[in-house]
Amino acid sequence: MSLTDVIASLSDGTEYTVTRTATGAYTKGRYTPAASTTLKVTGMLQPPTVIESGRALQVLPEGQHSREIRILWTLTEMFTRTPTNDPDTVVVDSDTWEVLSVAKWIAFDTTHYKAILARVTLP
State the Cα torsion 51-53-54-56 to the nearest 10°. Answer: 120
Average pLDDT, the chain: 79
* Count of domains forming the chain: 1
What pLDDT was estimated at residue 89?
Answer: 92
What confidence tens digit (pLDDT) does each residue in 54-102 have?
555 555 555 555 568 888 989 999 999 887 788 899 998 888 999 988 9
What pLDDT was estimated at residue 78?
Answer: 94
More confident residue, 35 or 39: 39
More confident residue, 118 or 5: 118
Predicted TM-score (pTM) of this structure? 0.72
Determine the structural domain holding residue 113 and report its residue range: 3-23+31-121
Contacts 24+ apart (CB under 8 A), 50-54: 52/116
pLDDT band at 46 (very low <50, low <70, confident <90, very high): confident
Compute φ and ψ for 92, nearest 5 degrees.
-125, 115
Q: What's the CATH code of the domain at 50?
A: 2.30.110
